[in-house]
Structures are given as structure tokens and as C-alpha cells.
Amino acid sequence: MKNINERIEKIIEHSQLSNSEFADAIEVPRSSISHIISGRNKPSLDFLVKIKNEFPTFTWDWMIYGEGEMQKSETDKIENIEKVETKKGEIEKPKAATLPDLFSLIDDENFGATESEDKVLKPIVPDYPTAGQSLKKSILDDSQRLDIEEKFETNKTIENQAVKVKRIVLFYDNGKFETFEP
């Protein structure tokens, strides 16, 4: 079988399920099965993973490349019996050569104790002005100076120029206005 679509059709036949039952078993839309079998679409990796999770006896090499045996050997099937079924899929039971879990490495008697009190970090407090009012006063002084400087600059420009009134416009609150020209 050179075509992956033909191999998926072979898996469906081997599972002895109808196309719709197979689609329900691997939790894919029913139309995707007919599209793959007809050759319209190719299966995605997610589709293949769902097949493998539902039917773990089929080998990856055969499913993807068409190489090797279609199903695992008898020794592989015995290992599958040791698996624990869960809602999401299958999880293998831990073997004897696994790593110890995180909590077995903790000494219960000294849990939470520190090596020495000298290593405790003290909070660093920056040297900011302690009196809030002195900071506010300096900000006020700066803003007052700017205001005063602006007043002096506008007065200087008016004194240096001979200013003539060109037009006076009065706007009323009812939307009307009047213009006066000297």
C-alpha cells in the first residue's frame, strides 16, 4: 500500500467499524473520513495521532510510510496491557527505573528552615526626601517661577511694540456676534 489514504481505509476495515463509527471513535467529523478515503484530502498529523491514540496496536512506521508490520508484535501487545486507561488517552505505569519524584528529595525535618539568618536579604530603602512637604514646596516654587517669567516676557514684548487694535469681535451666548473696527 503506497498511499496513506489506503492504509487508513485498511485500519477502518481492520477495526470492524463503519466509517461513521470510526469517525466518532477518533473524534473527527464524519465527512473527513469520506474525504480521506476518496483521496480528496490527505490526513493531517492531528488526524493520525487521534487514530494512534484510539488504536495503539498499529505501528507508526506502517501508518505513515507503509513500512514494517501493520500491528505491533505480541511483546508490544503485552506492554500495552500494563497501560492505564484515562479520559484523554493512555498513560504508562511508572517503571522501576524512573526518576524519584520531586517531594521524595525533600528532607521533611528541615523543610522550610534556612541555612543561616545572615543570608536573609534586608529590604533596600532608597534615600528619598523624607518630608513630603519639602518636595511639594520645591515643585511649587519651580512652577511659580515659570509663571512669573512668562508674565514678564509678555509684558516686554508689548512694551517694545507699538500695538494698534485692528478689530474687536464680541460673541454672544445666543450664537450671534458683532465686529467693531476703529
Residue 119: strand, helix, or coil: helix
Q: Work out the angle at residue 120's Cα, subtended by the Cα atoms of residues 119 and 125, and round it to the nearest 5 degrees.
A: 125
Which pLDDT does position 156 carry in this prediction? 56
Q: Are 148 and 155 in contact (CB under 8 A)?
A: no
All cell numbers assigned to 124? 533596600
**Does residue 103 have a pLDDT over 90?**
no
Assign 84 a pLDDT band (cuts: 50, 70, 90): very low
| Rounded distance between C-alpha atoms, residue 67 and residue 61, angstroms | 6
Between residues 48 and 100, the one the model is more confident about: 48
Q: Name the amino acid, one letter, at 58.
A: F
- One-letter identity of residue 91: I
Banded pLDDT at 94 (limits 50, 70, 90): very low
Q: Do residues 23 and 51 lie in contact, with contact meaning Cβ atoms separated by under 8 Å?
A: no
Residue limits of CATH 1.10.260.40 in the chain: 4-91
Average pLDDT for the chain:
73
pLDDT band at residue 163 under the 50/70/90 scheme? confident
**Annotation: CATH topology of 4-91:** 434 Repressor (Amino-terminal Domain) (1.10.260)
Overall residue count recorded for the chain in this entry: 182
